[in-house]
Amino acid sequence: MILNSKIPEGPLEHKWANYKKTAKIVNPANRKKLDVIVVGTGLAGSSIAASLGEMGYNVKSFCFQDSPRRAHSVAAQGGVNAAKNYKNDGDSVYRMFVDTIKGGDFRAREANVYRMAECSLNLIDQAVAQGVPFGREYGGYLNNRSFGGVQVSRTFYARGQTGQQLLLGAYQALQRQIGKKSVQLFSRHEMLDLVVVDGKARGIIARNLDTGELERHAAHTVILATGGYGKIYYLSTLAMGCNGSAIWRAHKKGALMASPSWIQIHPTCLPQSGDYQSKLTLMSESLRNDGRIWVPMKKDDARDPNTIPENERDYYLERRYPAFGNLAPRDISSRAAKERIDAGYGIGPLKNAVYLDFSKAIKEQGKNKIQEKYGNLFDMYLKITGYDAYKQPMMISPSAHFSMGGLWVDYELMTTVPGLFALGEANFADHGANRLGANSLLQASVDGYFIAPYTIANYLANEIRTGKIASDTPEFDEAEKNVRQQIDQFININGTKTVDYFHKTLGKLLYDYCGLARNAEGLRYAIAEIRKLKEEFYKDVKVSGSGNAMNAELEKAGRVADYFEIGELMCYDALTRNESCGAHFREEYQTPDGEALRDDVHYQFISAWAWTGENNEPELVKEPLVFEEIQPTVRSYK
């Protein structure tokens, strides 16, 4: 298979404009003839559903939550990037493009990244018009702060609730279209399979989570905006319901999966406190603007942090990366924390954390200023831990967070299945091997508001003569039959171990061998163990209840079954990339001082994987990365 990324001709700064000039459009009178399915109601899903509804298409919107407002976009705290240069500190679209390409360790397409930076200028105006309450300076101007991996202030924020506020804006737009009957909402519905007819995506099989009923939904195009699969590690910053099943079922129907092993471990998370936990709590990366990260210089130091003298503290990010200090990118900051913890300098009851200290910032700026910027985050920390971060340092630790990998898409955000689009974190497109903070909300928003409305219309222009898509076809019959068989299989196993047991076991295996660090021996071991665990799952999992009613354990079983296969592919992807880049740190490939050692000669490509069947090795398809505007260099933040 040869992958066609469909990158437009012309200079980098003109590619998107050139695409829009030549893209096909659909006559407004014809849009009501076309049906669109959108799976997911986070920022990407709500924004594209609202946009297409406003344009006049018939849209069906699906989410497994009870309301689109509960999509996981609400959890993004610190901000959203835009190259507005309001601080007059040298920012520009081009600088943002360079920062993002470099932050991803030169493993992303230039054209996609530049377009994201270019579209960022429109997003802030759009959000302000929707009523998003961005932080402002005393004079009323929108304020900015810095995030990791950059040296300018380009992050717009609404205290520590930016994702929630942006989602409320998209949700209002979506609800308006629901009220106008241009969008039909199916909450508490989970997509369980993609239906492909004559090579094109033509619908989905969904399960009503309240009744257990299987439903067929047909359309001219299907859009997946279902987020990432970081919950595969079990303990992560993601909500319990987050999963990779929608994109994985599409993968098994022909959509290639790209760079699955590139999963971000966030450096600023509350540490695990016990085996009882089902998730970990994210603390915004924005805290690193004013907080200083350190560990004691003495191993196993149990002293109160406020009593440890300054000359007995190791501000290791400031020591190792003086140019960026505490604003080093996430992958580098997480590995540096792990290195200190593994070396015996960790703090807290389980010795699994480092300090994030605000004493200097409070002394210089005053408590009120810090409270104004981060008050709700400090309140959350106090509520969860019982400690007051105004009086003593926070304890933080790395945790699984964001999937840079996802479904392979071309410049139009279409997968290798014609008519199937993937937006936001569900695709691999914009972040390379490491995502810079505050680019997640940006990508999801611009995909839905400013990019996909053009590219989907370009596809649908050829569908106006197709007529209504029928759901009583052999392809829908087969897909529904397969879904029903899997549900019955889970119910009938009647084993002795819970779904959570298998999820926790898989998560620990992946964290140990395909997490912050990987090596060939460990990855081969993990593949073998995942296969054993999967075999045990299908013999001994206990799913109580019925397949024809509300059943949370059944939902989890389907998602964990997919996680076994996603996890195996993650390990294959990591094993076949004999280099270190971004979040992919192979211990065999590092510099003498422990930094990632990239191999541009042999691995300057995107790894796209094709499904070849149960228990078969996946097929690797390479998309070469061509850099015309900037040449890859050694990634240094020192």
- As annotated, the active-site residues are 330
List the structure tokens of 488.
């019955």
Buried b (16+ CB within 10 A) or exposed e, 222-244: bbbbbbbbbbbbbbbbbbebbbb
Buried b (16+ CB within 10 A) or exposed e, 384-401: ebeeebbeebbbbbbbbb
What stretches of 405-469 show up as alpha helix (H) in DSSP? 439-446, 452-460
Residue 292 phi, psi (nearest 5): -110, 130
- With residue 62 as reference, give the H or E element that holds it: strand 58-62
Cα–Cα nearest to 258, from 615, 570, 576, 21: 570
- Specify the length of the chain in residues: 638
d(CA 509, CA 606): 25
SS (H, E, C) 123-164: HHHHHHHHCCCCCECCCCCECCECCCCCCCCCEECCCCCHHH
In the block, tokens 């192979």 appear at: 586
Contact (CB, 8 A) for 434 and 264 = yes
List the structure tokens of 452.
């996909």
- With residue 420 as reference, give the H or E element that holds it: strand 420-422
Start-to-end C-alpha separation, the chain = 41
Q: Which amino acid is at 392?
A: Q
Cα dist. 314→287, 307, 434, 638 in Å?
Answer: 19, 14, 26, 17
Q: Which amino acid is at 61?
A: S
Contact (CB, 8 A) for 540 and 495 = yes
List the structure tokens of 221.
């195009």
Q: What share of the chain is helix, strand, coil (3-state, %, to 5)?
A: 40, 15, 40
d(CA 110, CA 626): 8
